[in-house]
Amino acid sequence: MSLRKNEPIDIVMLNMSADFEWHGSSVSWLRRFVRWQPALAKKFYAGVFNRNLAILEALSKDKRVRQILSVDFVPQTVKRKLKEYILAGLWQGGRNVAVRGLTYKVTRQSVSSKVYTFSGLTLDHVPEIMKKLQFHNVVLWSYNPLEVDCFRSIPHDVAVFDAVDDWSHHPEYVVIRDRIRQNYRTIATHARAIFTVAKDLHSLFPGHASVHWISNGVDSDHYAAQRPRPAEFSDIMQPIIGYHGIIQSRLDVELLEDVVAAHPEWAFVFVGLVWPGAGAAKLQKYPNVRFLGQKTYAELPAYIQHFDVGILPHRVDAFTKTMNPMKIYEYLACGKPVVSTPVAGVDLFPEYIQVALTAEEFSFHIKRVLEMNSEAQGGARQQAVAPHTWTRRVHAMLDILLA
């Protein structure tokens, strides 16, 4: 099957996140409860902003797209199904609910919105929702390598897969690594076009005729607009060496500990959720280290803008080779100097990212950029990253798909 030329497309998007992870739960009693539990509030409402959401939002603004059914990450375990049922509020209606069943519902934020959100425990009801919404000229657009039955169960004209990291190397999915690798092979047989966030991901789809590296992007205006200094910085000394993102096993804690211990005159600030097993305890014992927890997408620019240096101290391994960290673009959009280990993506901005292999080199580059940084250099970094917009990424994707 193929798409009808010169007609707008409808997209069914299988997401790598749930809508409540992006925008917070809509459950009213839960909102009231977490007002008294700040830690829970951040966990449930801080929101994740990832490539999937950025592409979804950019697609919704493209004239070539008529409507989108945005499907929550399909729950794979009983625990995840329970989380979906509670936080997505599957039992409750509301003015934004377009369709609801016992185990699913479809919401729409406004009558003018192109995007409908499907929250549910399975994909079983997706075809009937597509029929109700009169979907035609359909692109099945997936971010979820755990779900491949969709190619059989969801009607579509063409399929697209956007590969964000190699999930077979993700520490959370080690026990199902073989299944994920098989799923990548299945995806390759069904997807007309495959987009990858990193060049190394091409090896997952050998022999496929249409695999395209399309790196991440950034909303430069969101990060460049000046924000006041966060109150949490009031008792933190300067300079501030900052990191934002999920604190997990990809962080090279051993390298960081050496740098932190060698420089008590620098403050090291980490913004993001801390996962179990990340090794954060090794750093928390130092008085010049602060973990501030997760922040919303709206809050994040204020924190980065008041870093003196943005760091990316990731391990170099099979997993990080398939990444293209969005924080690279976000640091630069805030005009910040960047020091990183040699992970995928840093080669896009060789003039603006200092690369270090060892703790000694990492310290050297931080000290050097602190001494040499200037307002003019900050402006040059912002100009360098400005062309890397999500709108351009989506235009490139649609141009390939609709050619």
Contacts of residue 180, defined as CB under 8 A and 6 or more positions apart, other chains included, come to: 145, 146, 167, 168, 173
Report the C-alpha gap between 302 and 287 in whole angstroms: 23
Residues 116 and 152 in one domain: yes
Please check whether residue 394 lies inside any domain of the structure: yes
Report the C-alpha gap between 89 and 165 in whole angstroms: 30
Q: Is 65 within 8 Å of 11 (Cβ atoms)? A: yes
State the amino acid at position 105 in one-letter form. K
Residues 123 and 148 in one domain: yes
3-state secondary structure 303-355: HHHCCCEEEECECCCCCHHHCCCHHHHHHHHCCCCEEECCCCCHHHCCCCEEE
Please check whether residue 3 lies inside any domain of the structure: no
Residues 165 and 53 in one domain: yes
Contacts of residue 366, defined as CB under 8 A and 6 or more positions apart, other chains included, come to: 241, 259, 263, 266, 309, 311, 339
pLDDT attached to residue 31: 57
Contacts of residue 176, defined as CB under 8 A and 6 or more positions apart, other chains included, come to: 146
Residues 172 and 283 in one domain: no
Strand partners, 293: 271
Contacts of residue 297, defined as CB under 8 A and 6 or more positions apart, other chains included, come to: 47, 49, 222
Report the C-alpha gap between 48 and 35 in whole angstroms: 19
Residues 40 and 189 in one domain: yes
Please check whether residue 78 lies inside any domain of the structure: yes
Cβ-based neighbour number of residue 81 at 10 Å:
17
Please check whether residue 2 lies inside any domain of the structure: no
**Cis bond leading into 75, ω under 30°?**
no
Q: Where are the beta strands (DSSP E) in 20-78?
A: 65-71
Please check whether residue 4 lies inside any domain of the structure: no
pLDDT attached to residue 7: 95
Residues 174 and 302 in one domain: no
Residues 38 and 187 in one domain: yes
Query: How many structural domains is the chain composed of?
Result: 2
Residues 226 and 237 in one domain: yes
Any idea what the CATH number is for the domain that residue 118 is in? 3.40.50.11010
Residues 225 and 212 in one domain: no
Report the C-alpha gap between 119 and 216 in whole angstroms: 26
Which tokens sit at 394?
Answer: 């989506």
pTM: 0.94
Please check whether residue 266 lies inside any domain of the structure: yes
pLDDT attached to residue 43: 54
Q: What is the pLDDT along the chain (403 residues), one digit of tens a residue?
A: 789 988 999 999 999 999 999 987 776 656 555 555 555 555 555 578 999 999 999 999 999 999 999 999 999 999 999 999 988 999 888 888 999 999 999 999 888 899 999 999 999 999 999 999 999 999 999 999 999 999 999 999 999 999 999 999 998 899 999 999 999 999 999 999 999 999 999 999 999 999 999 999 999 999 999 999 999 999 999 999 999 999 988 999 999 999 999 999 999 999 998 888 888 999 999 999 999 998 989 999 999 999 999 999 999 998 989 999 999 999 999 999 999 999 999 999 999 999 999 999 999 999 999 999 999 999 999 999 999 999 999 999 999 999 9
Please check whether residue 141 lies inside any domain of the structure: yes
pLDDT attached to residue 72: 97
Instruction: Specify the length of the chain in residues.
Output: 403
Which tokens sit at 373?
Answer: 């940084």
Report the C-alpha gap between 117 and 15 in whole angstroms: 10
Please check whether residue 1 lies inside any domain of the structure: no
Report the C-alpha gap between 249 and 170 in whole angstroms: 10
325 is in which domain, residue-wise?
A: 220-385
Residues 249 and 354 in one domain: yes
Tell me which long-range contacts 174-182 makes (C-beta under 8 A, separation of at least 24).
Answer: 176/146, 180/145, 180/146
Residues 99 and 228 in one domain: no
Q: Is 280 within 8 Å of 293 (Cβ atoms)? A: no
Any idea what the CATH number is for the domain that residue 300 is in? 3.40.50.2000
Residues 139 and 257 in one domain: no
Q: Is 11 within 8 Å of 69 (Cβ atoms)? A: yes
